[in-house]
Chains A and B, each alone.
Chain A
Amino acid sequence: MRLNVDGLLVYFPYDYIYPEQFSYMLELKKGLDAKGHLVLEMPSGTGKTISLLSLIVSYMLERPLEITKLVYCSRTVPEIEKVLEELAKLNRFIEKQTGQKTKLVGLAVSSRKNLCIHPEVSQEREGKVVDSRCYGLTAGYVRARAARADTAAGDGDGADPVPTCQFFEQLEESGRDATLQAGIYSLDDLKHYGRERGWCPYFVARRAIQQANIIVYSYHYLLDPKIAEVVSKEIVQSSVVVFDEAHNIDNVCIDSMSVHINKRMLERCSNNISAMEKRIANLKETDAARLQDEYQRMVDGLRDAQMKRENNQLLANPVLPDQILQEAVPGNIRTAEHFLNFMKRLVEYLKMRLRVQHVVQESPAGFLKDIFNKICVDRKPLRFCAERLTSMIRTLELTDMADLSPLVLVSHFATLVSTYTKGFTIIVEPSDDKTPNVYNPILYFRCLDSSLAIKPVFERYQSVVITSGTLSPLDMYPKILDFHPVIITSFTMTLARPCILPMIVTKGNDQVTISSKFESREDPAVIRNYGNLLVDMVTAVPDGVVCFFTSYMYMESVVSSWYDQGIITQLQKHKLLFIETQDAAETSLALLNYIQACENGRGAVLLSVARGKVSEGVDFDHHLGRCVLMFGIPYMYTQSRILKARLEYLRDTFQIRENDFLTFDAVRHASQCVGRAMRGKTDYGIMVFADKRFQRSDKRTKLPLWIQEHLKDSMCNLSTEEAVQISKRWLRRMAQPFSRQDQLGISLLTLQQLQSEEMQNKMRERVTHRI
């Protein structure tokens, strides 16, 4: 249908629309008009993606000068594929409506691993290996060598031909004008397109970034400074950036700027260095001119012209202020030997730092001072370390990037530590958190400020949209990401029937308070009551039931107690039992069987962990998840040094109290977990929060609005028995047949209904929560 959103003609490829989708578009339009940033929360399963795409694409069509590009960031490859499906549908709809071909170019960009069509390289399983093998076939100097070998072979020298990638070569041959035709390309379409023409799909996609109207890729392409500089540097300012499923965006930001180094990596670094030393000695004898050439470039301080060549940009340095990039490399690491010597000292120093018996915490300034005192290294050469290493690798024509990765990481660390004196901390721990008794020292260089990585994005692009199903409490995100949105809104779900049943269970049948707080979590009475709650719910609820625990350790201890108490046997009378483990393969097998058990009516229980794989990426729609139980509040491990340092930083810089942040984080994960059961308006599910602490207002009010709305006061202090009674009654109502007719006019609208006066008024009132 064609909608009129605040004076803008919007193409919407479906015949029906949810009222909240329309409100969402209204707010989005306002934000785009104001050229500001937005934070929007809308429950999952209400069509966020298509609303976003429809509005922004229509906006682009009508006012092509104001918005030139849409950059849509999602988390995983399946999510990216879903976005492209919707986009293709939208494109077809627009073409049908206007009767002519659109000039839109939309594509997915992903790693080489997902796009490679080279017969051998694409067989590799690990992304890093694919990257490095691809680099070994397409780097500028490899191709130059291949060309030399070719001419030599032509002369009858019989030199071995140097392997290159035929797809890349053909793309190069067809020149710069080898561009994508208008259309929407998913990853498979790109591969198909590449095979047809014999072009490398990865580089086709990379080149198309500048020309395309819609780009869909993963967060890292924009947030990770190492990748962003290569991939996203030339995206124009008048773009709209969308971060979908952005409830974890602060952690992504932090991870992209953090480095951890352990002893094994340092050993490999030493090996890398000695290999490079040999290589240099070799090169000096055979091709001294090349080294001299590099040296001259260093002296002149020109950024390597070759570096602009995109296929060489496998390694880029972490963020540096621009004026430093213009400067020449400091004299004491200019020549190759001196630089290797420098790296050697650095690696030895790090090895020495790793020899600890207790935890050491230090600020970057302290680290820099110590590094000068111990090995006489200044700040400036450290800052140029990453840049210098990149140049060196290119000069030495090393192609095995996977092998060199530890050294590259160390160089990134050096650059980061000398660039930022604020917002980072260095923690050296003698052993892992998971295995506290095994001596395995690790140096964590940890970013504490999530706003650092995302700052360039906010500054550069006209509008940035942060959206997800669970962003509550909304005001936290602008604080921790340090930006000023023009619109912050939360939308609720309009429902034709009360299909969410959130309940807070605070006590068992024997009136024992249930809680996962530290003092009582090992109490057998609490564990027994958790068990009884599960058994009773399992008896009442059909099909799939999913439980979330606060940690793997807690889940293990609870399950073993349940086994002793005979609860497991009781459970198995009703449903099959599956458990998530830390092993990804095991977990996916368990999931597969869980789904099978639900499909064939046997019913199943899945025990999993908040923050685990299941809680983040797996949807349990319809019968796969009729009931979700959250056992306890999933707080972070508060004894972790890294977390403590971050909390302190948040308090000092952003005036966020420790407890506020911890609760915010715990509740967002809890709501993420329970949100797994609701994936649409025809779906229905029970959400049980089994912890006394949930009923406190500081936790309750932090839940997303669409859950809070249904969480009446009468549902907030239930015992197991009451909860089961309520669910039985509710399930009986929900099991009645439910057709589209029941929804129409309330939670689903046709064009006429949408345009009616009454509905328009309602729509304006719907935006309930605005700051």
Chain B
Amino acid sequence: MVIGGSTNMDEDQVCPRCKTSKYRNPSMKLMVNVCGHPLCENCVNLLFAKGSGTCPQCDVPLRRNGFRVQLFEDAGVEKDIDIRRRILREFNKQEEEFATLREYNDYLEDVETIIYNLVNGIDVLATNKKIEAYKRDNRESIVRNRARGRTEEDELDEILQMENELNEERAREEQERLQAEKRNKVQKKEALIDELMTSYGDAKKIVASHTKVAEPEAPVAPKPRPKPTQFSSGVRIGGTRLPAVPIVPQDEGEPFVYAAPQLAMDGPAAPDSERLSADGYLSHIKRVGDAERAGGYAASLGCLRALQEGMAGLLFFPGADG
């Protein structure tokens, strides 16, 4: 560090109006507004007592509630970020909305140029017109994108959430381990005292045996199964965002075609349902009551079944080659 130079960047801060420095007044806070010119807190209170006024450096009309604490050393950066925030609220298209990467990059550059122009006061009028035009043309997509949030931010949030979960898990494990250790210790102590009280053996031996037992420690507790954090489809439980990859339709193979099964009766064919009543088969079977008919049963069904069963296998000769 240069001798004589300040060692703390905070001490370099000087209010341009009243020349108070951080060194003289450690509680001094520099504030900035949209124009990017800093003022200390006292000056702001003094100049903007009525709630609005002009910047002492550039005469831009300012409102008092527009002032906030200066975060960065360079007030120009402060202004840049102010404008950038405002612009990015409108220009919030995402990469997915462009057909090619090249178009997206061109768009990014346009946005950057607009910000650059506004910050440095180049063609402010034309630029503002451009912004207005853009707003008019893309009103819907702006609102939609605002509601949707940024993909990248979602990704980061997800990582952060996972990290947090991991940390919590770790803290819990640690605590459990400590508690178990404590419990163990107390138990052992009690066991020793119990034995000393009840046993008639040599006290020294008992103590020695217990200290020996105390040595081999740490039966590692089985790790609890990790909580499921994802559905099998890859969607996070409790997560709102859909997975980046669309669900791939599974290959289901050829559609099923019905083919009537060939029956091997090995016997004379049973009479078909029309001949049942005509040949009087039905008269030999129990009459169908109302209750059975309600269930969809008809006498012909039972009859046919009985006939088929009776005739199947009549002509089957074991040993004969079929």
Contacts and interface: CB of A to CB of B under 8 A. Distances in A.
Interface stretch (A9-17, A38-46, A123-131, A362-370): A362-370
Interface string A362-386: 0101101100101110110000000
22 contacts: A299-B105, A327-B101, A330-B108, A331-B107, A331-B109, A331-B110, A334-B105, A335-B113, A338-B112, A338-B113, A341-B116, A345-B80, A352-B73, A369-B153, A369-B160, A372-B153, A374-B71, A376-B84, A376-B88, A379-B152, A421-B159, A439-B7
Given A345-B77, A365-B163, A369-B153, A331 B9 contact: no
Q: Is the interface of A mostly helix, strand, loop or mixed?
A: helix
A348 B77 contact: yes
B34 to A, nearest CB: 16
B73 A351 contact: yes
B142 interface: no
A652 B73 contact: no
A348 B102 CA distance: 30
Given A331-B112, A369-B156, A264 B77 contact: no
B109 A332 contact: yes
Contacts of A330: 105, 108
A324 B72 CA distance: 31
A369 B149 CA distance: 13
Q: Which 6 A-B pairs have the closest CB atoms?
A: A331-B108, A331-B105, A331-B109, A365-B159, A332-B112, A348-B72
A335 B81 contact: no
B160 A345 contact: no
B101 to A, nearest CB: 7
A327 B10 CA distance: 41
Interface in A618-677: 648, 652
Contacts of B105: 299, 328-331, 334
A337 B116 CA distance: 9
Nearest to A329: B105
Given A328-B102, A365-B163, A368-B156, A355 B108 contact: no
Given A338-B116, A344-B77, 13 more contacts: A328-B101, A331-B107, A345-B80, A352-B73, A363-B163, A365-B156, A365-B160, A365-B163, A369-B153, A374-B71, A375-B81, A439-B7, A439-B8
B172 interface: no
Interface of A: 263-264, 270, 299, 301, 327-335, 337-338, 341, 344-345, 348-349, 351-352, 355, 363, 365-366, 368-369, 372, 374-376, 378-379, 421, 439, 648, 652
A648 B74 contact: no
B156 A351 contact: no
B14 to A, nearest CB: 17
B159 A352 contact: no
A622 B102 CA distance: 69
Given A348-B72, A365-B156, A376 B116 contact: no
Contacts of B72: 348-349, 351-352
B91 to A, nearest CB: 11
Chain B interface size band reads: 35 or more
Given A365-B163, A369-B156, A376 B101 contact: no
A299 B107 CA distance: 12
B157 interface: yes
Nearest to B152: A379
Contact of A652 (B10, B101, B102, B166): B166
A181 B110 CA distance: 56
Contacts of A331: 104-110, 112
Given A327-B101, A332-B108, A348-B73, A341 B80 contact: yes
Contacts, number: 90
Nearest to B70: A352
Q: Output the residue of B73, B88, B111 with the most chain A CB within 10 A.
A: B73
Contacts of B170: 648, 652
A263 B12 CA distance: 14
Contacts of B17: none
B77 to A, nearest CB: 4
B1 interface: yes
A369 B157 CA distance: 8
Contacts of A349: 72
A365 B110 CA distance: 28
Contacts of B112: 331-335, 338
Interface string B71-91: 111100100110011001000
Interface string B123-161: 000000000000000000000000000001100110110
Interface string B1-45: 100000111100000000000000000000000000000000000
Contacts of B102: 299, 301, 328
Contacts of B73: 348, 351-352
A439 B1 CA distance: 12
Contacts of A344: 74, 77
B70 to A, nearest CB: 10
Given A263-B9, A328-B102, A348 B74 contact: yes
Contacts of A334: 105, 109, 112
Contacts of B156: 365, 368-369, 379
Interface in B171-191: none
A491 to B, nearest CB: 33
A376 B109 CA distance: 15
Interface in B49-95: 71-74, 77, 80-81, 84-85, 88
Contacts of B71: 352, 374
Contacts of B101: 327-328
Contacts of B84: 376
Given A335-B109, A338-B112, A374-B71, A351 B9 contact: yes
Contacts of B110: 331
A329 B157 CA distance: 25
A401 to B, nearest CB: 23
Nearest to A334: B109
A677 to B, nearest CB: 34
A378 B152 CA distance: 8
A270 B72 CA distance: 13
A366 B160 CA distance: 7
Contacts of A341: 80, 116
Contacts of B9: 263, 351, 355
B163 to A, nearest CB: 5
A749 to B, nearest CB: 46
Nearest to B77: A348
Contacts of B116: 337-338, 341
A272 to B, nearest CB: 14
Contacts of A328: 101-102, 105
A301 B74 CA distance: 33
Interface in B242-298: none
A366 B157 CA distance: 8
A422 to B, nearest CB: 8
Nearest to B112: A332
Contacts of B166: 652
A143 to B, nearest CB: 33
Q: Which of A263, A348, A366, A368 is the most central at the interface, judged by chain B CB atoms within 10 Å of its CB?
A: A348
B94 to A, nearest CB: 11
B77 A355 contact: no
B68 to A, nearest CB: 13
B29 to A, nearest CB: 13
Contacts of B160: 363, 365-366, 369
A687 B193 CA distance: 45
A380 to B, nearest CB: 8
Nearest to A337: B116
A111 B157 CA distance: 43
A379 B95 CA distance: 13
Contact of B111 (A332, A352, A366, A648): A332
A327 B102 CA distance: 10
A345 B71 CA distance: 12
A270 B12 CA distance: 15
A345 B112 CA distance: 13
Q: Which of A333, A369, A648 has the most CB of B within 10 A?
A: A369
